[in-house]
Amino acid sequence: MTKHTTSRHKLKGYVATPGAKQEKPAIRAVQEAESSVEETLQHVRGHLDGLTMAEAHQRYAQFGANEVAHDKAPHPLIQLAQAFNNPFVIVLMVLAAINYFTDVYFAQPGEQEWTGIIILVTMISISGLLRFWQEFRSAKAAEKLKSLVRNTATVQRRPANGSSPIRQEIAMSELVTGDIVHLQAGDMIPADIKLIESRDLFISQAVLTGEALPVEKYDTLGSVAEKSANGQINGDAELLDLLDLPNICFMGTNVVSGKASAIVVATGTDTYFGSLARNVVSHKRVETSFDRGVNSVSWLLIRFMLVMVPVVFMINGLTKGDWMSALTFALAVAVGLTPEMLPMIVSANLAKGAVAMARRKVVVKRLNSVQNFGAMDVLCTDKTGTLTQDKIILEHHYNIHGLKDEGVLQLAWLNSFHQSGMKNLMDIAVVEHADELGNRVKPSGYSKVDEMPFDFVRRRLSVIVENQRGRQLLISKGAVEEMLAVSSHVQDGEQVKPLSEEDRAALLKRSQDYNAEGYRVLLVATRDIPAEEAKRNYKTNDEAQLVVRGFLTFLDPPKDSAAPAIRALKEYGVAVKVLTGDNPIITAKVCREVGLSPGVPLVGKDIDQMDDVALCSAVKHTTIFAKLTPLQKSRVVKALQANGHTVGFLGDGINDAPALRDADVGISVDSGADIAKETADIILLEKSLMVLEEGVIKGRETFGNILKYLNMTASSNFGNVFSVLVASAWLPWEPMLAMHLLILNLIYDVSQMVLPWDKMDPEFLKKPRKWEADNIKRFMLWIGPTSSVFDITTYALMWTVFGAGAAYYAGQAQGISSGGADIMHSGWFIESLVSQTLVVHMLRTRKIPFLQSTASLPVLLSTTLAILIGCYLPFSPLADSIGFVKLDSSYFWWLLATMLGYMTLAQTVKTIYIKRYGGWF
């Protein structure tokens, strides 16, 4: 029995220590391991033939679904609270509280000012509620989509009429304690189970132990004393390690090879896996690169705000002498620097991307994977079913000399027909081809004795059959090299002769020739079992001294869509690498047919000889990785990541699960193995590379629209603060009241709510994109001051042409310190809002806006509406109450000239920036 010493630290508190507080699944697992099958059936009120449907329904109603609620969205009220748990929203809440104390609580009766608080609360509400609505709707849509992907279990149930028990596929969630389940390669263990019968059963417990090597499980525990004497139990029976129990399998683990039948002893939260999920506080998903990127940018902007706001406060306080007014204005500047719509923009973009992908039959299990999809620059994929049609056809059945031999097909049919494991495409092809030829190639009178199921190390499948005279025959088929390793003779016509080195070389050469023609090749070998050696149970070490009988050649033609999809992915900067357990020669041929340059393939045995540094170097220039084990696939993925790539992995088999888990984006298909679907971030309801190309585009559109908001808001905010600093040092009053800044930000932020529906330039979508906080900071420092240039010209314009300066001096003569301020406030409010809104169009593209690239209709409408509202406010009935005055109509001609100058300068600086840094565009 394989020991798992690393898991013991995890299992403290879950062992059967007398008198201690116990977790139900741990006690049950230990008790049932030492019980007989009959005793376990009594404990769970089960039957060897299975439960009746009525019993199953009653238990389901009583104990609930077989689910561990780790992937469900929280209650809507919790989601609502989480929507406001964001640094920017918290900053606004703090500012609102300070504003309340300064403008209401400590204000004199009759001088209380609620406008600022109302605006801040409106901003907080819009940001939080819209984010909540987007995430709530996304969670509902995700649950609906996930219902399309069913993980099932094979259960045995008794009909009510007392007839023979039947096996049926049901959703794992419908399993109940006492059910009898049947397992084979590729299945997830659906609950905590006690084995009844098993054959060569190997279970991967990596999800619980972290150990990658599978362990063998079997249906007999034996006495505790015997196993303790053998060193299989660590100390007393009470300290038995749960995961070492050989006849107990735990929910969440998966079958690597073999088959079994078992009794369900615990379901849902009563399983060991469920107890861990319930008791381990750190049961949170690991922070993704997307989360880290958003957080790094968020804190960059917050740090900027924490530096600039005190500077504004000090300058205004020192120059104007009114420290309370300076505080109020500084708080308004802080609001202006806060991109409070970022949480909503991020959520809306991700949700929109997920919905768009759902229309293409793509289930997004985790929203953040949408952006990771767009950042992907290397796609690792299997060959079968992705590059090829996933429809294997048996083309030839040859003897060792390459001549057609129906005897080889008969042996292959006996092997494929009688194997009870997970039939692969080649087994199906053998059976279908034999059905086409008829009964002459389907020997009768044979019954199955035993089998050694396929696994990814031996790479062969053996079946032992017995004829009516009691003669047993072992028939094995598998990969050529692995078959030759256990063969000692060849069948040459009627003669059986020893397998010489010349014969071995000739067989390898012939198989390579078949591979070069595009065929997949299996070798068929047999061994007659003498009567004195006959038995009912066989092990893999019985696969020895085999006689090679001949070849099977299979054809899996490339998909018509593979070549154009690979070209499209290449155009979008995604390199495709093939990771397969198949032969490197045939893989290279298929790759050439679909437009991939195969280069020199790297095979699994060579990878095992490399350390991590050597592998990181090798993967840079390798396209084909062939004859890989599951762990080797995972090593290749990690090596690519170590080289700085964002790696996607497309796989649907049991052997793909480790790589799916380790990739930045794990992609599986609805028809894949249960463990593959459970591990993946994204599930395709249709296995097609063209779908992946569309996913890459949607991911980049999503990320691009998020970056737009960040870059626009950061640069505009920096420009506004720079303008405020200049105005505070020069003007006798603030260039805009705190209330005006709040109104300006409210109008601008509301207009940005439609950015998720903007389109991206095709050039932006051609390259993978990642978070770069330093680039955002550099962009902010370059682009921000361009608006300040025209803010300062507007100050001068309002001071001179429109009489703010004259009004100030006239007011001074009359003892009025604020004379002319309302003219300045009105003029700069309009100019600031129009320029800040126009910058959306300037910075959303690297091209010339409106002429070479135009925003989507929602963005055009929202920005136009924002400009119209801003221009109307000083002329509206609200003007007097908020401190605005009507401006002379000539102002708008000056505004037009200012905006033309601003757009020209912004486009010039943007062009220089792109040439120097490349930009985010």
- List, by residue number, the catalytic residues: 382
Distance CA 12, CA 436 (A): 59
Distance CA 747, CA 752 (A): 9
758 with 693: CB under 8 angstroms? Answer: no
3-state secondary structure of 203: strand
876 with 829: CB under 8 angstroms? Answer: no
3-state secondary structure of 4: coil
φ/ψ (deg, to 5) at 154 = -90, 115
Quickly list H helices, 478-573: 480-484, 501-516, 562-571
Biggest alpha carbon–alpha carbon distance for the chain: 126
Q: Which residues contact 682 (CB under 8 A, 6 or more apart)?
A: 357, 362, 363, 364, 365, 369, 373, 665, 666, 667, 668, 695
Cα three-residue angle 541-543-546, rounded to 5 degrees: 145
3-state secondary structure of 64: coil
301 with 339: CB under 8 angstroms? Answer: yes
58 residue type, one letter: Q
Buried b (16+ CB within 10 A) or exposed e, 403-433: eebeebbbbbbbbbbbbebbbbbbbebbbeb
Distance CA 392, CA 394 (A): 7
The 10 Å Cβ neighbour count of residue 114 is 13
The 10 Å Cβ neighbour count of residue 752 is 23
3-state secondary structure of 758: coil
295 closest CA partner among 307, 283, 303, 306: 303
Cα three-residue angle 87-89-92, rounded to 5 degrees: 110
Buried b (16+ CB within 10 A) or exposed e, 123-144: bbebbbebbbbbbbebbebbee
Structure-derived torsion over alpha carbons of residues 800, 805, 810, 816, reported in degrees to the nearest 10: 160
For the chain, what is the radius of gyration of the CA atoms? 35
Which token pair is 610? 């490399």
Query: How far lies 730's CA from each of 308, 316, 319, 336, 685, in Å?
Result: 18, 10, 9, 21, 64
Q: Which residues contact 366 (CB under 8 A, 6 or more apart)?
A: 285, 681
Beta bridge partners of 255: 203
768 with 379: CB under 8 angstroms? Answer: no
Distance CA 32, CA 899 (A): 79
195 closest CA partner among 122, 273, 250: 250
Look at the chain and count its residues: 921
Distance CA 193, CA 183 (A): 11
Which token pair is 838? 């126009």
Cα three-residue angle 894-899-901, rounded to 5 degrees: 95
Which token pair is 198? 């098993």
